[in-house]
Homo-oligomer: A and B are copies of this chain.
Amino acid sequence: MELTPAERDALDGLEERERLLKRGTALIRENDRTSELFILKRGMMMSYLLLDDGSRQILRFLYPGDMIALSTLAYSRSPEAVVALSDCVACPFERGALADLFAAHPRLAAAIMALNQMERVALTDRLAGVGRTSAKARVASVLLEIRARTRGNGDGATDTFVLGLTQEEIGDATGLTAVHVNRMFRQLEEDGLIARVAGRVILLNEAALMRAANYVDRFAGLDLGWLPPSR
């Protein structure tokens, strides 16, 4: 999607300030009172919910370009926590700034809404995975998700990548225990679908992995062409 110079300026305006976050630092805690949103500029983060019994459900992994804390549009306290998984740069802006942007650039409002829907669909896919697929499928699916999102991060080779997640985190994303995630890794290795060397994961048989994961390519069906033409 092409942006007019004015639209580009408006988006850049949201990234004026920068906040640096060390790996492991919280950007937002659950129930934090905040009226800020963020755009992630560099690094990797995750958002999650905590339950009464202390267990954690990871909702989403965040990568550069992602908008963070859109829920502040509806809630005065954050329903979810956001934490840096690597050293990060996040750009905060007030929710009022988003309202201004909507007023000045309705086409961007529609585009942001569309991006939002993509995120929503990712959430529904994760829900279906957790609710209706095997442990092996869920772990395979996380591997494919991380790979898809880190691809083109410079490293060159596309089928080898660093996960950047502990097995505990993968468990919290998929509704499994760390122990069982470990066993699923082993099984995927034994099946010849992946290999692991020094913290890196190698996808040996991507097609089979996608089958094992019930993978649906949501990028294939993208269609932003209906947006009104830029003025």
**Which residues of A are interface residues toward B (Cβ below 8 A)?**
35, 49, 51-52, 55-57, 59, 70-71, 73-77, 79-80, 95-96, 98-99, 102-103, 106-107, 109-110, 112-121, 123-128, 130-133, 174-175, 214, 218, 221-224, 226-228
A220 to chain B, nearest CB (A): 9
> With a CB–CB cut-off of 8 A, which chain B residues contact A126?
127
* Known A51-B133, A76-B223, A95-B226; 12 more pairs at CB < 8 Å: A49-B124, A51-B128, A70-B120, A71-B117, A73-B117, A74-B117, A76-B221, A77-B221, A79-B121, A79-B218, A99-B107, A99-B227
How long is the Cα–Cα vector from A109 to B128 in the complex, in angstroms?
29
> With a CB–CB cut-off of 8 A, which chain B residues contact A106?
99, 102-103, 106, 109
Assess whether B75 is in contact with A221, with CB atoms less than 8 Å apart: yes
Copies in the assembly, this chain: 2
Contact for A131 among B117, B120, B125, B175, CB less than 8 A: B175
> With a CB–CB cut-off of 8 A, which chain B residues contact A174?
131
> With a CB–CB cut-off of 8 A, which chain B residues contact A128?
49, 51, 57, 59
Assess whether A35 is in contact with B226, with CB atoms less than 8 Å apart: yes
How long is the Cα–Cα vector from A124 to B49 in the complex, in angstroms?
8
> With a CB–CB cut-off of 8 A, which chain B residues contact A228?
96, 99, 103
A135 to chain B, nearest CB (A): 12
Contact for A98 among B56, B110, B175, CB less than 8 A: B110
How long is the Cα–Cα vector from A124 to B47 in the complex, in angstroms?
10
> With a CB–CB cut-off of 8 A, which chain B residues contact A70?
113, 117, 120
